Amino acid sequence: MEDFIKLAKKVLLGNKKKGYTLPTNNKLYPAQWNWDSGFIALGYSHFKFKYALDEIKTLIRGQWKDGMIPHILFHDLNTNYYPNHSVWACGNKIHSSGITQPPVLAIILKRILDKKRINNKDKAEFKKIVKGILKYHKWFIKFRDPNNSGLVSILHPWESGYDNSPLWDDPMSKVKVPKNLKYKRGDNKVVNPEYRPLDIDYDRYVTIKNHLRKNNYNPKKLYKASLFNVVDVGFNSIFIRANKDLLKLLNAFNLQSTELESYISRSENKIVKLYNQKKNVFFNIDLKNKKKINIPSITHYFILFADLKDKVLNNKIIKNLKKHSSKEKYLLSSVKPNHQKFEEKRYWRGPVWINCNWIIYQGLKNKNIKLAKQIKRKTINLVKQKGFNEYFSCKTGKGFGATNFSWTAALFLDLILENKND
């Protein structure tokens, strides 16, 4: 096992830049990604605490004045990546995209601080970080849930983190692509096009992005004006967990937020209403087109990560998860293989993702330890057998997408080193 731990560390250090880490060592993702950095920081925390802190600090430095932390920070402007900093045209202290990503930072920071005793000097640094995260969460509540319902929206599929999921097919189909749309994507030149989104999907991504830019990324205006507005179960599950962990961090640093406390309660009450008892599934809500989205995505199991008090619902989700996992050699497919939308090799439409397994494992640990250990063991074995790939086939275990992928290495380390007695 020590050899694999060394390899995982080598992957992270091989992708490291000054103050941040690339998702991979090729041209596919030549920048800093929001939730990637969170997972990467967790990996570093097991062997190089300074690098973990640097990763988080750099991410916070890219925070906008209104509180948003972008999904991409462009530290190197000399790349052929599309869409690059000039395409986004966000004139901030660090060039960035104009959208965000799943807010895992509070979750990661709490996990790190639970295991690391910090000195007084570091306490001041971390207190500053916690204040930045609080500002970020308040941005979500203010601008992505202006009606104070308890559930936040995403305004672009890229914000979900699982960009090409079938969850977005229906709302994306309503996006009208201009005839004169011009751009030059490069992702399908770096890796096999079979692994990447289709051209029509990318056309719609770019159309939504262009619309956001046209509206100057105004968060107040875009909640109603965006071409895409979806309440996603997985994203909101992460946000609920993040709010709970942030509240604990605030208490640890003698900070308070009554707003956060009340919002958590409202979120928990609201998200359970997205569950359909008859069909035994969660629905996403397409607010733009006033429709329910019924696609059985792996991300619906993220509800376990939210740590809801509803034991009956949790048990139903665990029952579904057991069925899902019992039919697969390599856990867990992002879309069930028997579903019409399933594609074995294509980005988020079927492959196994280590970060999803990690999220689900964390949600299971205090609810069904046997199943949690099973997912953990099979995830570790998959990476040991097939390597540090971006994603994997649920049928053969074959790796797809980028190689030497940072969050795969980081979360592999966390799964192995979090508790050697597991």
CA–CA dist 243, 103 (Å, integer): 9
Is the pLDDT at 380 greater than 70? The verdict is yes
14-18, 145-149, 286-290, 293-297 — which is least confidently predicted? 293-297
Average per-residue pLDDT for the chain: 95
> Mind spelling out the 3-state secondary structure of the chain?
CHHHHHHHHHHHHHCECCCCECCCCCCCCCCEEHHHHHHHHHHHCCCCHHHHHHHHHHHHHCCCCCCCCCCEECCCCCCCCCCCHHHHCECCCCCECCCCCCCCHHHHHHHHHHHCCCCHHHHHHHHHHHHHHHHHHHHHHHHCCCCCCCCCCECCHHHHCCCCCHHHHHHHHCCCCCCCCCCCCCHHHHCCHHHCCCHHHHHHHHHHHHHHHHCCCCHHHHHHHCCCCEECHHHHHHHHHHHHHHHHHHHHCCCCCHHHHHHHHHHHHHHHHHEECCCCEECEEECCCCEEECCCEHHHHHHHCCCCCCHHHHHHHHHHHHHHHHCCCCCCECECCCCCCCCCCCCCCCCECHHHHHHHHHHHCCCCHHHHHHHHHHHHHHHHHHCCCCEECCCCCCEECCCCCHHHHHHHHHHHHCCCCC
Mean pLDDT of the 153-174 span: 98
Quote the percentage of the chain above a pLDDT of 90: 88
Confidence grade of residue 281 (pLDDT, cut at 50, 70, 90)? confident
Is the pLDDT at 422 greater than 50? The verdict is no
Choosing from 66, 76, 122, 163, the catalytic residue is: 163
What would the pLDDT profile of 196-220 be if each residue is shown by its tens digit? Answer: 999 999 999 999 999 999 999 999 9
| pTM check: above 0.85 | yes
Is the pLDDT at 142 greater than 50? The verdict is yes
Cα angle: 297, vertex 358, 248; to 5 degrees = 105
What would the pLDDT profile of 322-352 be if each residue is shown by its tens digit? Answer: 999 988 899 999 999 999 999 999 999 999 9
Confidence grade of residue 280 (pLDDT, cut at 50, 70, 90)? confident
* Residues facing 16 on adjacent strands: 21
Mean pLDDT of the 314-320 span: 95
pLDDT value of position 119: 80
Confidence grade of residue 421 (pLDDT, cut at 50, 70, 90)? very low
pLDDT value of position 420: 59
pLDDT value of position 26: 86
What would the pLDDT profile of 81-104 be if each residue is shown by its tens digit? Answer: 899 999 999 977 899 999 999 999
Give 369 or 122, the one with higher predicted confidence.
369
Choosing from 55, 232, 390, 414, the catalytic residue is: 390
* Other beta carbons less than 10 A from residue 220's beta carbon: 11
pLDDT value of position 78: 74
What would the pLDDT profile of 101-131 be if each residue is shown by its tens digit? Answer: 999 999 999 999 998 888 887 888 999 999 9
390 is catalytic: yes
Region 2-417: CATH code: 1.50.10.10
Mean pLDDT of the 285-302 span: 95
pLDDT value of position 115: 87
